[in-house]
Amino acid sequence: MLDVGRHPNIELLAYSEVEKVEGEAGNFKVTIRRKARYVDEDKCTGCGACAEKCPTVVSDAFNEGLGERRAIYSYFAQGIPSTHTIDADHCRQLNGKKCGICAKTCQADAINFDQEDRILELDVAGIIIAAGYDVFDPSLIPEYRYREIANVVTAIEFERLLSASGPTGGHMDRPSDRAVEAEIAGLEKKAKKSQKAISKLEEKFNEPSAQFYKKYQAGEYKDDEDRKKWADKYTAHLAVTEPLEELKKQAEGFTVAKRLAFIQCVGSRDFRFYPFCSGYCCMHSIKEAIISHEHEPETTSSIFGMDIRAVGKGFEEYKIRGGNNSNITYVRSRVAEITEGPDNNPVVIYEDTRERKVKRQEFDMVVLATACAPIKGIAELAKTLGVELDKYNFIKTSSLSPVDSTTPGIFVCGCAESPMDVPESVAQASSAAERAAETSFQTDLEKEKAVA
Amino acid sequence: MSKDILVIGGGIAGMQSSLDLADMGIKVHLVEKLPSIGGKMAQLDKTFPTNDCAI
Ligand SMILES: Cc1cc2nc3c(=O)[nH]c(=O)nc-3n(C[C@H](O)[C@H](O)[C@H](O)COP(=O)(O)OP(=O)(O)OC[C@H]3O[C@@H](n4cnc5c(N)ncnc54)[C@H](O)[C@@H]3O)c2cc1C
Ligand code: SF4
Ligand code: SF4
């Protein structure tokens, strides 16, 4: 990633989109919109002082909504370019409210609320589409109760939980437990405030609130206005501290998730959604189970699927190693439903297709191996570029020219073409580069011919 | 006529094709929709089958 940012032959146009393409192979005219970041890329040092002070909290898409960021943010810590960006949908200043705290904080004078989108025109010989994929939305399968049961997560969310730079610092904290901890933090803040208010009164009347309150309830201090206020404040305080103590007691029992279930083919090999195999999901479930076991040796994982497709160099060995060394059980099965048991534990109800029996098993957390879906904007992008899509909405190619789109001079690689893993994406990327280079050199030859 | 190449998308596929072209001496314009390049791979903790760090 760093090499891309530094290479003298690469002009990096991040936070930008292609708006218009005209012309043909060897001679395309492209219009690009560079979206306003409201931060000057050249001035911003990426220090992050602005984000520390920004009061606007937004759900963090890079962490799949499991963490938070501010309205001014860096997409992720090691992101290239390292500049910060203001999220115009959420920033107070850009939505007509008073703020500008980031501009006051920034030592580099990088913030510019007047920045506008810029339009850039480019002449290019060829185009490579590498727009990738989207994660299938599992809430389309209601029987898995994604979003209804907190501890049912997608594999990409699980990647963020595993990551040392993620929202849990790499601990397998369960979403339901994290929600309770967030509630505790909120109530503690409130309790601090209400405690302050009653402390003052305790000092004034030289008596602990609890003792006073007993007498007050017994009917003492009938017409005493000040004491009535004290009683009101104390009831308000109790309304915070009582549930707080309850939650704290509950939180004492929290441990990291150690019993994991992985459910394969969520949206893939499913005629209701995508009939194809997404290719990489068997392997990423095994990977996530192995890493979880590295983090916490007591972890056991069950991988529920029709079969395990470990087709790639070293993949079958990886699968077997996982089974032998990382407490992974491969369960040949079809999962019918996920329900919620006690302690927010998801329960997997499945048919064991070896024994032909319906079984149920409780877990700490369930991870859904979601399908590789075409990106949301693919139809517009294909229209802009004038290329055809296949029946699933990936860029159409043919088996004998797997990186050529239906339009000469436009090539494709990675998951924009079809589901594939990283090694395959890299191989296709090099092929697409080679095909594009031919177009580029062709242009060179034609230029020479024209001169001669 | 220009001999430059436009690459759309800065995930692993777009980054690799950009680098290959750039190393051949061809000028590349790499367009990424999000604030930074990296794509899905940047979100991964480690990658199979070697468990190398993703970034
Ligand atoms: C949970 C999970 C774990 C995985 N683990 C592994 C693993 O361990 N090993 C492995 O080999 N594979 C793994 N994979 C697969 C891997 O993510 C893909 O193979 C790889 O990311 C594909 O790269 P890509 O560049 O084609 O797409 P992406 O990574 O999706 O990159 C596409 C880029 O294009 C940008 N873009 C989209 N639309 C536009 C547009 N209109 N204009 C400009 N830019 C645009 C996107 O913002 C993105 O940056 C995993 C997948 C998942 C879901
Ligand atoms: S905008 Fe300013 S304060 Fe924010 S990261 Fe950039 S240099 Fe630092
Ligand atoms: S103006 Fe305020 S809300 Fe907007 S990014 Fe700056 S600090 Fe955040």
The per-residue pLDDT for A344 is 96
Q: Which of B2, B13, B36 sits opposite A414 (nearest CB)?
A: B13
Going by CA atoms, what residue is nearest to atom 24 of ligand 1?
A132
A chain contacts of residue B16, beta-carbon cutoff 8 Å:
413, 425-426, 429-430, 433
User: With contact defined as beta carbons under 8 Å apart, do A79 and A48 qualify?
Assistant: no
Model confidence at A326, in pLDDT bands (50, 70, 90)? very high
DSSP state of A348: E
Instruction: Kindly report the number of other CB atoms within 10 A of residue A309's CB atom.
Output: 20
Burial of A347 (0-12, 13-18, 19+ CB in 10 A): middle
> What's the distance, CA A214 to chain centroid?
51
Measured from the CA of A422, which atom of ligand 1 is nearest? 11
Structural domains of chain B, count = 1
> Two tokens at A23?
């012309």
Q: Is residue A16 pLDDT above 70, yes or no? A: yes
In this complex, is the C-beta atom of B52 within 8 Å of any C-beta atom belonging to chain A?
A: no
Q: Say what percent of chain A tops pLDDT 70.
A: 100
- SS3 call for A380: helix
Going by CA atoms, what residue is nearest to atom 2 of ligand 2?
A106
What is the phi/psi pair of residue A126, to 5°?
A: -150, 165
Tens-digit pLDDT profile for residues A212-248: 999 999 998 888 998 999 999 999 999 999 999 999 9
Distance (Å, whole) CA A217 – CA A227? 11
In this complex, is the C-beta atom of B53 within 8 Å of any C-beta atom belonging to chain A?
A: no
Tens-digit pLDDT profile for residues A101-116: 999 999 999 999 999 9
Closest CA to A210 of A179, A187, A235: A235
Going by CA atoms, what residue is nearest to atom 8 of ligand 3?
A54
Going by CA atoms, what residue is nearest to atom 11 of ligand 1?
A422
The preferred substitution site among A41, A111, A115 for testing ligand 2, maximizing ligand atoms within 8 Å of CB, is A111
User: With contact defined as beta carbons under 8 Å apart, do A234 and A213 qualify?
Assistant: yes
> Two tokens at A365?
């957390």
The per-residue pLDDT for A452 is 66
Residue recorded with tokens 């050529």: A404
Measured from the CA of A94, which atom of ligand 3 is nearest? 4
| Residue B41 lies in domain | 5-53
The per-residue pLDDT for A378 is 98
The per-residue pLDDT for A445 is 75
Distance (Å, whole) CA A110 – CA A416? 35
Q: Which of B31, B38, B42 sits opposite A17 (nearest CB)?
A: B31
Model confidence at A121, in pLDDT bands (50, 70, 90)? very high
Q: Is residue B51 pLDDT above 90, yes or no? A: no
The per-residue pLDDT for A389 is 98
Is any atom of ligand 1 closer than 6 Å to the C-beta of A156?
Answer: yes
The per-residue pLDDT for B55 is 63
B chain contacts of residue A414, beta-carbon cutoff 8 Å:
9, 11-14
Q: How many residues does chain B have?
A: 55
Q: How many residues does chain A have?
A: 452
CA-based nearest residue in chain B for residue A433? B17
Q: Say what percent of chain A tops pLDDT 90.
A: 94
Going by CA atoms, what residue is nearest to atom 4 of ligand 2?
A50
- Residue A59: enclosing H or E segment and its boundaries? strand A57-59
Tens-digit pLDDT profile for residues B9-44: 999 999 999 999 999 999 999 999 999 999 999 999
Tell me the pLDDT of chain A averaged across its residues.
96
Contacts of residue A333, defined as CB under 8 A and 6 or more positions apart, other chains included, come to A304, A305, A306, A350, A351, A352, A353
Q: Which of A14, A64, A286 sits opposite B37 (nearest CB)?
A: A14
Beta-carbon separation of A426 and B16 below 8 A:
yes
Beta-carbon separation of B20 and A17 below 8 A:
no
Which residues 29-48 of B are in CB contact (within 8 Å) with A? 29-48
**Separation of CA B43 and ligand 2 centre (Å):** 23
Distance (Å, whole) CA A38 – CA A14? 14
The per-residue pLDDT for A196 is 93
Pick the ligand that lies closest to the CA of residue A69. 3
Model confidence at A450, in pLDDT bands (50, 70, 90)? confident
Measured from the CA of A93, which atom of ligand 3 is nearest? 1
Measured from the CA of A54, which atom of ligand 3 is nearest? 7
Give the predicted TM-score (pTM) of the model.
Answer: 0.94
Is any atom of ligand 2 closer than 6 Å to the C-beta of A103?
Answer: no
Tens-digit pLDDT profile for residues A127-176: 999 999 999 999 999 999 999 999 999 999 999 999 999 999 999 999 99
Instruction: Kindly report the number of other CB atoms within 10 A of residue A334's CB atom.
Output: 13
Pick the ligand that lies closest to the CA of residue A286. 1
Chain A: give the shortest CA distance to residue B52, in Å: 11
